[in-house]
Amino acid sequence: MLGRGLGIPLTRSRDRRYSHQVSAEADPKSLAQLAAKTILERFGLPGIDVALVLGSGWSGAASGLGEPIGECELAEIPGFAKPVVVGHGGALRLLRTGTGRVAALFTGRTHFYEGRGVAPVVHGVRTAAAAGARAIVLTNGCGGLNPAWGPGTPVLISDHINLTAATPLEGATFIDLTDAYAPRLRELARQVDPTLAEGVYVQFRGPQYETPAEVRMARVLGGDLVGMSTTLETIAAREAGLEVLGISLVTNAAAGISPTPLEHAEVIAAGKAAEPRLRGLLSGLLERL
Ligand code: 8IG
């Protein structure tokens, strides 16, 4: 018997004979390959060109962005779990853009604070890469440190600080993160909307919002935006060779920046009000990507 006498419950889950099975223990990259294959077969596509992950406040802005190809629940695709947060969707939408490119929209994401580990957090990114995407647009809702950025202000992510103490990378995978947020794509975004500000995104683990002292710390560290997503996805995207564009929607002033406490309802309302501007930004981007 395997592991006899060691008290270690060895399994054969990584055995080649079982490699077609979907399990939580499956190698994350094989699982992404399987998810990509499932998506492409289901929608009869040879591949996708670009992916968008829609964060808090963004899903309404992505309606009518192109000619619909199809849609399904993300939970129907191997490796994806149902999102847990109100206002976060959980669908996969495939569409053809005006320039004939295939875009995959993920209307929701798994967050690190859900406690399932890093692999599920970056599964969408890896799936997009495995399906042939060359670029990914990662959007989120976040807190703003700059009082000039009122609720509903989109900000380009210029760089990030990952305070989760986690990474999607394993082993000696030394990925360069200089220009992780592609200057070329930021330039494209500014062609669409020249008034876009840029800032450094600081990912906290969450799910609690920051204390005012933590927000001051983020400021001292060089941060402009505080949130609970994106940096782990960006790291996985760079490992996979994807160009990354990150756009934050400031849905609230970060704790201590504004005198009122933070509420999730405020987040949803800010997204609603910003919809026309965000839709213009995303559709302009999809024409240029
Ligand atoms: I929406 O103020 C949204 N997400 N960490 N802080 C953090 N995440 C957020 C915030 C915020 N607002």
CATH number of this structure's domain 13-286:
3.40.50.1580
d(CA 32, ligand 1 centre) in Å? 28
Q: How far apart are CA 220 and CA 49, in angstroms?
A: 38
pLDDT of res. 17:
36
Low-confidence ranges of the chain (pLDDT < 70): 1-25, 82-89, 262, 267
In this structure, the strands spanning 102-107 and 50-53 are parallel
d(CA 211, ligand 1 centre) in Å? 11
pLDDT of res. 85:
60
SS3 content of the chain, % helix, strand, coil (to 5): 30, 25, 45
Q: Is the distance from the beta carbon of residue 158 to the nearest atom of ligand 1 less than 6 Å?
A: no
113 CB-near residues (< 8 Å, 6+ apart): 205, 206, 207, 228
pLDDT of res. 19:
37
Name the residue ranges covered by the structural domains of the chain: 13-286
3-state secondary structure 230-284: CHHHHHHHHHCCCEEEEEEEEEEECECCECCCCCHHHHHHHHHHHHHHHHHHHHH
How many Cα atoms within 13 Å fall on the side-chain side of residue 130? 20
Q: Rounded to the nearest 5 degrees, what angle is found at the Cα of 120, between the Cα atoms of 223 and 138?
A: 40
Q: Is the distance from the beta carbon of residue 159 to the nearest atom of ligand 1 less than 6 Å?
A: no
Q: How far apart are CA 108 and CA 37, in angstroms?
A: 20
Pocket of ligand 1, candidates 217, 251, 263, 272: which has the most ligand atoms within 8 Å of its Cβ, to mutate? 251
Q: What is the dihedral of CA 74, 153, 286, 199, to 10 degrees?
A: -90
Q: Which atom of ligand 1 is nearest to the CA of 56?
A: 1
Quick one: which of 225, 205, 20 has its CA closest to 118?
Answer: 205
Cis check for the bond before 120: say yes or no (omega within 30 of 0): no
The beta strand positions in the chain, using DSSP E, are: 50-53, 67-73, 91-96, 102-107, 135-144, 153-162, 197-203, 225-227, 243-253
For the segment 116-157, what is each residue's pLDDT rounded down to a tens digit?
A: 999 999 999 999 999 999 999 999 999 999 999 988 999 999
d(CA 170, ligand 1 centre) in Å? 28
Q: Model's pTM, two decimal places? A: 0.89
